[in-house]
A and B are shown apart, each in its own frame.
Chain A
Amino acid sequence: MTEISEIIVGYLILQGALLSLIAAIGVLRLPDVYTRNHAASKSATLGVISVLVGLFIYFLLVDNIVNSRVLLGIVFVFLTAPVAGHLISRAAYNTGVPLWKGSLQDDLKKSRQKVKSNN
C-alpha cells in the first residue's frame, strides 16, 4: 500500500516539476507574446495542479490528514489561470503588440477596422 502510494506521489510531483520546466523553456523559446502565453497558461497550470495533487495524496496516505486547503488551491488555480492568460493576451493586443511574422490571419484586426469605418 505505502509502496504504491509512494510511486504515485513521486510520479505526480515529478510530472508537475517537468511540466513547469517545459513551460519555462517554452516561454524562453517561443517567438511572441501570444504563443508564449499558450505555454505559460497551460503547462504551468497542469504542472502546479499535479504537484498539489501529489502533496494532497502524500499527506492523506502517510499522515492521514485531509488538507482541504490544498484542494481549494487546486480549484482556484484551475479557475484563475486561463482567465489570467486571457487578460494578459488581451492587454497585449490592445496596446498594439504585433503578432509573430509567421502568423497567417488576424480576424480581430479586420473586425476592429470594420467598426472604425462604420463610425
Chain B
Amino acid sequence: MAFQILLNFFLAFIWMFLSNDYSSLAFFKGFFFGGLIIFTLRRFFEHRLYFYNVIALFKLIFIFLSELIKSNIAVLKVILSPKLTMKPGIFSLETELKKDWEIAILANLITLTPGTLVIEVSEDNKTLFIHAMDIGDVEQAKLDIKNTFEKAIKEVSR
C-alpha cells in the first residue's frame, strides 16, 4: 500500500518535470493522472488499490469522533445522576487482531467508547481486560460494537 502511494507521488513529480511546471497545481494534476495510471495497472499489484485503504481510514476516524461524543454523553449521565447506581467491573475480551499497532488502535477506540476503559493487554496479545462502568446491561452490546471496531481496523490494514 505504501508502495502504491510512493509510486503515485513519483508519477506526479515526473509529470511536473515533463511539463516543466513546478507549481502545486501541476503536482495535483500529475497526482490525479498518476492515480488513473495506477488504477489501470491494478492487476500487477499484490495488494488492492490504496484508495480503498484511504476510505477505510476516513471511516475509522469518523467512528473515533462519533464514539468520543457518545461516550461523553454516557459519562455525563452517570456523573450528573442524583444517585450512583452504576455497577462497575472488569471483563475480558478476546481479540483476533495480530499486529501491535492494530491492537493499540483497538485499545484506544475501546477507551473512547461509552463507559469502557482498557486496563491491561495480556502477554500473548490475545485478550484485553476492560473496566466497564455498567457491566450488566452493556456487555453484550459492547461486544457487538467491538466487532464493528475490529472489522473497521481490519479493513484499514488489509
Which residues from chain A sit less than 8 Å from chain B, CB to CB? 19, 22, 25-26, 29-32, 34-35, 37-39, 41-43, 45-46, 78-79, 82-83, 85-86, 89-90, 93, 99-100, 102-109, 111
Contacts and interface: CB of A to CB of B under 8 A. Distances in A.
Given A46-B72, A111-B92, A86 B129 contact: no
B13 to A, nearest CB: 24
- Secondary structure dominating the interface of A: helix
23 contacts: A19-B76, A22-B80, A25-B80, A26-B75, A26-B79, A29-B84, A34-B88, A38-B78, A38-B131, A42-B68, A42-B71, A45-B68, A46-B69, A82-B112, A83-B108, A86-B117, A89-B131, A103-B88, A104-B87, A104-B89, A106-B89, A107-B91, A107-B129
A30 B78 CA distance: 9
Given A42-B75, A45-B68, 18 more contacts: A26-B75, A29-B79, A34-B131, A37-B117, A38-B78, A38-B133, A43-B79, A46-B72, A83-B108, A89-B117, A90-B119, A90-B120, A99-B89, A102-B86, A104-B87, A106-B90, A107-B129, A108-B92
B7 interface: no
Contacts of B111: 41, 82-83, 85-86
B68 A99 contact: no
A93 B129 CA distance: 11
B107 interface: yes
A108 B129 CA distance: 6
A99 B86 CA distance: 13
A90 B120 CA distance: 6
Contacts of A29: 79, 84
B87 A102 contact: yes
Nearest to A26: B79
Given A22-B76, A26-B75, A93 B112 contact: no
A41 B88 contact: no
Contact of A108 (B76, B79, B90, B115): B90
B79 A86 contact: no
B89 A38 contact: no
Interface in B23-75: 64, 68-69, 71-72, 75
B72 A99 contact: no
The 10 closest A-B pairs by CB, nearest first: A82-B111, A26-B79, A107-B92, A104-B89, A108-B129, A105-B89, A34-B131, A46-B72, A82-B108, A103-B88
